[in-house]
Amino acid sequence: MTRPPASKFLDRSSPPHIATLILLAGVSAMSMNIFLPSLPNMAAFFETEYRLVQLSVAVYLAVNACLQIFVGPISDKYGRRPVILGGIALFIVATVGCIFAPTIWVFLAFRMAQAAIVTAMVLSRAVVRDMVPQNQAASMIGYVTMGMAVVPMIAPLIGGLLDQAFGWQANFWFLLASGVLLFWLTWRDLGETAQRSTLSIGQQFAEYPELLRSPRFWGYSLAAAFSSGAFFAYLGGAPFVGSVVFSLSPGWLGFYFGAPAVGYFLGNWVSGRYSAEIGVNRMVLWGAAINFVGVSMSMALFATGLGNAESFFGLMTLVGLGNGMTIPNATAGALSVRPHLAGTASGLSGAMMIGGGAGLSALAGALLTPATGPWPLLWLQLGTAVCGIGAILLVMHREKHTPELDATP
């Protein structure tokens, strides 16, 4: 593939600047967690149960996952730029609906529509893979998501403070302003990087079996999905643990909630700095192992009666660190199994990760009660961490013993 011209900021005749890629992924991530400290107050506003309001996380992730199945092939056919702009526009409209929703059901409907912003996150990764080869892509994705990590790191704190000062709707006004600014920036700066496919949409979707027949694609995608599962379970369960089990205010919950993002930032830095040198597989394995260690230490403290809010949220930084090492590298591996299907691979692997996350988020919210404490959440996180280690070990075993059976064409 011909290498695209060098990036020129705010010049859409060139590929996008790295700052644009960071914000595309960052706003998408922010929309997932900025309002989480407000869930108890939203339940009171809509006069409904916490578990029903908590579905705003699960339904968002579920629609997010379904959209990713379609986003990849469509962007391979029509290009990254128009699909990203369309997704941001839908996100803006849906955010207005969330602000003025009169009932919880109307809110949940518009919340599902907000998931259109996933086009920005999915295709920012595909844009990177359009521009550079596998190991460099892992490094660049690491840097992009390192910057992206700053946004969800501070978003819950901002959301908690906005809630205390102006009410829960202020979170969505903030998202609306961010969406409008992101649309303008994307319009000005995002140059097309994909060589558009000559296949029809139907033929594009017919390419899925080529990926699904690849054990390496499955291994990388499941490694990312299982490792990130610990974080998605956290998204669904931590607001309850913080507000009910530890009796934290929205402001303090927002402060503590960003702990995994601190680790994620550091993990992304490690990926950006060392992936090209160390290699994708070992980085994924080390990240999955760190994830496991973080959850195990938290469980050990609670088992001995020493667990508290500080240990629970503090050790989530290790989960974030592991994810920051695992996800960029596993993503680059999945996208590089069939480079000519990078957009399709990004959508499909992302759907696996987010779809599993939707289920884990809903399950965590359903299992937690004041009597259980944090234990259901911790057991879910431990199980996904173990499965993440197993997935990458299978990839490494296959590459060592039967590399010719899954060679990249």
User: Which structural domains are found in the chain, ordered by start?
Assistant: 18-189+204-406 (1.20.1250.20)
Residue 25 to residue 120: CA distance in whole angstroms: 6
CA angle at 396 for the pair 279 and 386, rounded to the nearest 5° = 100
Tell me the average confidence (pLDDT) per consecutive run of 10 residues in the chain, 409 residues long. 58 76 86 86 88 84 84 80 93 96 95 92 78 65 65 80 91 96 91 69 73 86 89 85 88 84 85 83 95 96 94 94 90 78 73 79 82 92 95 89 53
* CA 379 to centroid of chain Cα atoms: 21
Task: Provide the pLDDT for residue 4.
Answer: 46
Residue 80 to residue 375: CA distance in whole angstroms: 42
Share of the chain residues as helix, strand and coil, in percent rounded to the nearest 5: 85, 0, 15
Q: Provide DSSP, 117-128.
A: GHHHHHHHHHHH
Give the contacts of 275 (CB within 8 A, at least 6 positions apart).
135, 138, 139, 142, 283, 328, 329, 332
Q: Is the dihedral of CA 175, 332, 380, 318 positive or negative?
A: negative
Give the contacts of 159 (CB within 8 A, at least 6 positions apart).
33, 34, 35, 36, 37, 38, 171, 174, 250, 254
Q: Is the dihedral of CA 162, 164, 167, 168 positive or negative?
A: positive
Using the structure block, give the residue that is written with the tokens 């609670």.
302
Cα–Cα distances in Å, from 250 out to 41, 158, 267?
Answer: 9, 10, 27
Are the C-beta atoms of 326 and 223 separated by less than 8 Å? Answer: yes
Residue 212 to residue 100: CA distance in whole angstroms: 42
Task: Provide the pLDDT for residue 313.
Answer: 94
pTM: 0.72
Residue 204: Cβ-neighbour burial (10 angstroms; 0-12, 13-18, 19+): buried
Are the C-beta atoms of 72 and 190 separated by less than 8 Å? Answer: no
Q: Provide DSSP, 175-214.
A: HHHHHHHHHHHHHHH----S---SS-HHHHHTTHHHHHT-
Task: Provide the pLDDT for residue 408.
Answer: 44
Residue 176 to residue 189: CA distance in whole angstroms: 20
Task: Provide the pLDDT for residue 169.
Answer: 95
Task: Find the radius of gyration of the CA atoms of the chain.
Answer: 20
